[in-house]
Structure 1
Amino acid sequence: MMQFSEQAAPDEVRAWEAFDLLATMVAVVQPDGTCLFANAVLESVVGLSRRTLVTRTLPEWFREPSALLEAIDAVSRNEFATRRFEGALRRAVVGHAEPLPVHIIVSQTEHSHSRILVEMIEIEQQTRQDREERALGQAQVTKELIRNLAHEIKNPLGGIRGAAQLLAMDLPSPELIEYTQVIIHEADRLQTLVDRLLAPHRKPHVVGDVNIHEVCERVRSLVLAEHSRGLRVERDYDASIPEFRGDREQLIQAVLNIVHNACQALNERIDEGDACITLRTRVSRQVTIGKQRFRLALELHIQDNGPGVPDSLRDRIFYPLVSGRDGGSGLGLTLAQTFVQQHQGTIECDSAPGRTVFKIVIPLP
């Protein structure tokens, strides 16, 4: 049974229990820093029960408590409605000796003089959310640019090809006709590239019930049929993940594009016989994607033991026409990102030599 201090009325505590639904750490304190309430995330991060936390002051869990005390005092005296600053939260969890860097937001409540709200956001989490928002914005700009550019290229291509065909009929020399064939061939190649750029925007979004493990198994069978030796594709599935509404074929293509990229990076290891790709599924709770909050989300990790993404490409791997190999179109990851974003999801990459992980996050019902 949750305990509360004498200063906190039972109806207050019941209202504060809504903070347990948040993914950030939240505490309600008095002007002297005494903790009246700590939400479930703060319990978990500090490593102490709510019953213990509400018998202590919140600032004592910070490496430099004076900054938090000053902010709480200033907000309680209405000098500021909100104060923001950085701090380091100490933890009682075994194995976490290092303080956790957090962004602290101290705000007034309805009872501004006696109840102060303190929200703590992990710096890494905030950085990730900022990165996701930038990626979504960049993807939208890129999509519009590609669509407009592709249409501008496509119109004159037809004229160039048609002119080359007419010219070939009037040329007497086979050598000159050969040049027109080069023009026609290159025009066709560019036409194919333009069609691929426009494909995600033309193809209708076919929504149905999707089992992510059926998607993974389809990709796994396709890849193993292509690489029957030297490559292991391991499964690490969470069988409790429910079905969700989505476009099965788009998701198969997205995962397949990422796995194909991994296979190309693993060429040397495949020859040596020790290449490995792991498909891992998990459920994540209280996830923020862009500016939207979701209670549950699917996480699909596609991990390989290849050489890693070069530093020069790491920030640009989802850009169109950016490829790390000769002859690559640079569209595989761009299309994968487009398909995932059409499911309100995100995709990101964490890479180091010997371990590269692409993580797809998609909201669940």
Structure 2
Amino acid sequence: MAFGKPAAPARRFQPFDLLATLVAVVRADGRLLFANSALEDAMGTSRRTLEGSPFGACFLEPGVLATAIEGVRDNDFATLRYEAFLRRGAQEPLPVQVTLAQTDRKGEILIEMSPQEQQVRHDREERLLGLAQANKELIRNLAHEIKNPLGGIRGAAQLLQMEVQARDLIEYTQVIIHEADRLQTLVDRLLAPHRRPHVVGDVNIHEVIERVRSVLLAEFPHDLEIERDFDPSIPEFRGDREQLIQATLNIAHNAAQALAERREAGDAKITFRTRVVRKVILNKQWWRLALELHVIDNGPGVPDDIKDRIFYPLVSGRESGTGLGLTLAQTFVQQHHGVIECDSQPGRTDFKIVIPLP
């Protein structure tokens, strides 16, 4: 009987291991009773090593935690929240938002720590999701408002062309027809991701990348190096293969075009890197596993004036660009419950596609 008692708290707190946030349970004296697996990973220390020791020692300012524990223990606060830095051995301290609350047992205090960078990422994902929904409605409404008068303009130009005799006037009507057709193509591209059904099947992400790679090499056969850094353990998953090919191609093609100067210099490079990450939150949903696909180039980087708007429709860093490639890519990835993030500076731009795995 005595041998089984120490394991009881671990069993009782086991559901905390499913959380992506860092969770600790301490006694009223501040000594650690339980640490979840996310906290173990963040600190690089096993829970067996941590349990029973003063948890305040894990922070740069242990006195602040001691005061907070005392306030919650004495019912001065039902819940208390503050910002702190969590020690991580030889690594840089981790900035976290600390929340303390009592458990359902007297003398136990629950401490939840949310890494600040994780919170920032969640906020960014939420903004991107809201932006995508707003863009979707805007594009649909705008495209339909354009389509009807556009058809009338083209039809009127065709009728006018049949009536006029002067060659220069015919050329004017041809310009009207040509430009109306160009706008029609643009509108169709805007509406394409919302019209096409989501065709789900088994997807091998490396087959997707190989397809994109072959397209790039066909267009840039001599002056572009493409490196593959694959994790072969990534399983197949259910998704729309063609959408993922198009999303990856849009990103990679943008990168290849941004590498114009590097291609002339002979050192242009794009890297496709795949990895598996664990315990991620995407669009407010927790996933045990997720795929990370990085498309990395050594180009000049995304211009500073559009960094915050690159996923907006019709925003482009190139004069000849339509500004639809990244918007469509983000739409396709979000249809797979994922997200695209961008980290860019001169010499290295990394577009990261994150998609949950079953």
Report the TM-score range of the alignment, normalised by the length of the smaller protein: over 0.9
Match of 2:73 in 1: 76
Residue ranges of structure 1 left out of the alignment (5+ in a row): none
Match of 2:262 in 1: 269
Are residue 344 (structure 1) and residue 337 (structure 2) matched?
Answer: yes
Indicate conservation of the 8 Å contact 2:9/2:33, yes or no.
no
For 2:244 and 2:49, how far apart are their aligned partners in 1? 46
Instruction: Kindly report which structure 2 residues correspond to 1:116-155, keeping only aligned pairs within 5 A, or say none.
Output: 116-155=109-148
Post-superposition offset of 1:341: 0.6
Instruction: Kindly report which structure 2 residues correspond to 1:11-22, keeping only aligned pairs within 5 A, or say none.
Output: 11-22=8-19
1:222 to 215, 240, 251: 215
For 1:37 and 1:204, how far apart are their aligned partners in 2? 48
For 2:301 and 2:295, how far apart are their aligned partners in 1? 13
Over the residues paired in the alignment, what is the CA RMSD in angstroms? 1.6
For 1:42 and 1:291, how far apart are their aligned partners in 2? 20
For 2:274 and 2:339, how far apart are their aligned partners in 1? 15
1:359 to 344, 352, 355: 352
1:296 to 289, 297, 301: 289
Percent sequence identity is: 68
Are residue 90 (structure 1) and residue 73 (structure 2) matched?
Answer: no
2:22 to 21, 25, 32: 25
Are residue 197 (structure 1) and residue 214 (structure 2) matched?
Answer: no
Post-superposition offset of 1:99: 2.1
In structure 1, the residue corresponding to 2:177 is in which secondary structure? Answer: helix
For 1:61 and 1:314, how far apart are their aligned partners in 2? 37
Amino acid at match of 1:268: E
In structure 1, the residue corresponding to 2:56 is in which secondary structure? Answer: helix
Consecutive aligned runs of 4 or more in structure 1 exceeding 4 Å deviation: none
Match of 1:35 in 2: 32
Q: TM-score, normalised by structure 1?
A: 0.94
For 1:80 and 1:134, how far apart are their aligned partners in 2? 32
Are residue 209 (structure 1) and residue 206 (structure 2) matched?
Answer: no
Residue ranges of structure 2 left out of the alignment (5+ in a row): none
The aligned length equals: 356
Which deviations, in whole Å up to 9, do the C-alpha atoms of 1:5-51 show, x marking residues without a partner? xxx85322212122222222111001221111112222232233322
For 1:84 and 1:330, how far apart are their aligned partners in 2? 42
Worse-matched range after superposition: 131-140 or 44-53: 44-53
For 2:64 and 2:75, how far apart are their aligned partners in 1? 17
For 1:174 and 1:83, how far apart are their aligned partners in 2? 80
Match of 1:99 in 2: 93
Indicate conservation of the 8 Å contact 1:229/1:273, yes or no.
no
For 2:23 and 2:338, how far apart are their aligned partners in 1? 26
Worse-matched range after superposition: 101-110 or 10-19: 10-19
In structure 2, the residue corresponding to 1:43 is in which secondary structure? Answer: helix
Match of 2:275 in 1: 282
Match of 1:245 in 2: 238
Which deviations, in whole Å up to 9, do the C-alpha atoms of 1:288-342 show, x marking residues without a partner? 0011111111110110111111111111111111111111111111111111011
Q: TM-score, normalised by structure 2?
A: 0.96
Instruction: Kindly report which structure 2 residues correspond to 1:35-74, keeping only aligned pairs within 5 A, or say none.
Output: 35-74=32-71
Which deviations, in whole Å up to 9, do the C-alpha atoms of 1:220-260 show, x marking residues without a partner? 11111111112111111111111001110110011011110
For 1:124 and 1:158, how far apart are their aligned partners in 2? 49
For 1:241 and 1:314, how far apart are their aligned partners in 2? 31
Are residue 109 (structure 1) and residue 103 (structure 2) matched?
Answer: yes
Indicate conservation of the 8 Å contact 2:262/2:299, yes or no.
yes
Which deviations, in whole Å up to 9, do the C-alpha atoms of 1:138-186 show, x marking residues without a partner? 1111111001110010011001111111222223432223222221111
